Amino acid sequence: MTKLRIHRCGTRSHLRHGISLLEVAISSLLVGVTLVASLQTVGAVYRTQRLNASRLTGSSLAMELMTEILAMPYEDPDINSLTLGRESGESAVNRLDFDDVDDYKNLNSLGVKSKDGTAIADLTAWRRQVDVNWFDPLTGLNAILDSKLKKIVVTVTSPVGDVTTLTAYRSKWGMLEQTPVVDTTAVTWIGATLQVGVGNPSTYIGTQITNLASDAP
């Protein structure tokens, strides 16, 4: 009797226990692209927030100083000067000495200060500058002689170089030049400083009030 032996041939499956170098490279590339896109988005949002905050603070600081200037008389009430600028005896750093609009000409203050020269915290790196000139409305240019109209330009520069410019015109026959019937106090500006948490920078904001007046105490 002949016996037949049957041999079965087959393949053995091999299980993989890792990933290939190509898969690692592709995965790293995808993660890198996603990370870069995310960082760019976050950076753009941060820059936008910083710019908006800087513009808001710059506008508020410019409006505050401009309101202070416009509340002053058109010209010195005691001296009939033929030139623009501070008169003799008026301090360049203490604005309490200023008694007319053009005393603010060439004011250049590094660090925001109150009218008496007191520095305001968290705003020491801001700069405020003022230029005052006679203005000719017919030509749209600065005038050499008194045209009874002064152009006032307030420039505010942030610590990172963002610039805010505010321009106003002051007439010799403006409302504030008229003699009131009774003694009154006109409220033209109100502001506030907001700080969230200890050690965080403050935001200085304010607004001009044009229609509010109350009797002086």
Nearest Cα residue to 153 out of 163, 139, 138:
163
Q: Does residue 10 lie within any of the structural domains?
A: no
pLDDT score of 8: 58
Domain of 79, in residue numbers? 42-176
Is the predicted pLDDT of residue 216 greater than 50, yes or no? no
pLDDT in tens, 120-160: 888 889 999 999 999 998 898 999 998 889 999 999 999 98
Domain count for the chain: 1
Q: Does residue 111 lie within any of the structural domains?
A: yes
Q: Does residue 79 lie within any of the structural domains?
A: yes
Q: Does residue 202 lie within any of the structural domains?
A: no
Mean per-residue pLDDT, 161-183: 78
Q: Does residue 190 lie within any of the structural domains?
A: no
pTM over 0.85: no
pLDDT score of 177: 62
Contact 90, 103 (CB under 8 A): yes
Give the β-pairing of 184-194 and 203-215.
Answer: antiparallel
